[in-house]
């Protein structure tokens, strides 16, 4: 099936890379900026869904379509909740896959705004820029990785594990204390009220207009 899909996409002028394991996929994501990821759940060294936090922490997260033989509602919900844009059950027609890719891209282009405004704070996801009171805020690469995860879905509660994976994507093992350090740094730069702690659940951006120093 993989060979047929690759051949079809190449014939449609796509450049295609194939990773047969989680380890290969993680390495590829660190070296190449992809427009889309077709994620098979059955990989030799683990569940493909475990790759989604790293994908969503990228500077420009690609479209993700999960491909699997698992025809269970709970599995589909788990994949979509983890951050997948769409889901295809095997066997499928490569033409349908391409149509779904184009549909997701249209939804993204039509419905997303690259600038998130939280009071006097502006987060520009397209330009990787943050301003507070009109002044630029300088963030490190890892600080921006954490902020991007939260800003992409500001209404969502982001678990500690999800945010730690944004740091792990840069090659470090991020424990709980490391995450606390980066959250604290972001609060100092952005204003402490902009990042809420939900005890026992995780963190999320505050969408209220209240600022503090």
Indicate the CATH number of 2-111 among 1.10.3720.10, 1.20.120.1080, 3.40.50.2300, 3.30.565.10. Answer: 3.40.50.2300
Outline which parts of the chain fall under CATH 1.10.10.10: 115-205
Partners of 123 in beta bridges: 116, 130
pTM of the model: 0.53
Longest dimension (CA), the chain: 56
Q: How far apart are CA 55 and CA 162, in angstroms?
A: 11
Report d(CA 102, CA 104) in Å as an integer.
Answer: 6
pLDDT value at residue 49: 86
Strand, helix or coil for residue 175: coil
Would strands 36-40 and 63-68 be described as parallel, antiparallel, or unpaired? parallel
Residues (pLDDT < 70) of the chain are: 1, 13, 108-114, 126, 165-176, 207-213
User: Can you give the pLDDT at residue 195?
Assistant: 92
What pLDDT is recorded for position 211?
54
Cα separation, 174 vs 101, whole angstroms: 33
What pLDDT is stored for residue 95 in this prediction? 93
Give the pLDDT score at 139: 92
Sign of the alpha-carbon torsion through 183, 26, 140, 134: negative
Rounded CA gap, 174 and 172, in Å? 6
Q: Which of these CATH numbers, 3.20.20.110, 1.10.10.10, 3.20.20.70, 1.10.357.10, describes 115-205?
A: 1.10.10.10
Tell me, what's the pLDDT at 213?
47
pLDDT given at position 171: 43
Instruction: Measure the CA–CA gap between 183 and 187, rounded to whole angstroms.
Output: 6
């Amino acid at each position: 099936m993989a060979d047929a899909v690759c051949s079809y996409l190449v014939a449609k002028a796509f450049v295609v890379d194939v990773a047969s394991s989680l380890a290969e996929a993680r390495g590829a994501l660190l070296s190449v900026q992809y427009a889309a990821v077709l994620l098979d759940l059955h990989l030799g060294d683990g569940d493909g869904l475990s790759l989604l936090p790293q994908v969503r922490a990228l500077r420009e997260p690609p479209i993700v379509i999960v491909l699997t033989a698992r025809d269970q509602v709970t599995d589909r919900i788990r994949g979509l909740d983890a951050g997948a844009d769409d889901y295809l059950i095997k066997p499928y027609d490569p033409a349908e896959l391409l149509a779904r890719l184009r549909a997701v891209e249209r939804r993204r282009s039509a419905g997303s705004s690259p600038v998130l405004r939280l009071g006097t704070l502006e987060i520009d996801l397209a330009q990787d820029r943050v301003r507070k009171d009109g002044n630029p805020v300088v963030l490190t690469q890892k600080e921006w990785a954490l902020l991007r995860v939260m800003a992409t879905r500001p209404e969502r509660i982001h678990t500690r594990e999800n945010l730690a994976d944004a740091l792990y994507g840069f090659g470090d093992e991020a424990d709980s204390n490391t995450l606390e350090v980066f959250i604290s740094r972001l609060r100092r730069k952005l204003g402490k009220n902009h990042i809420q702690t939900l005890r026992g659940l995780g963190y999320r951006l505050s969408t209220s207009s209240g600022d503090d120093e």
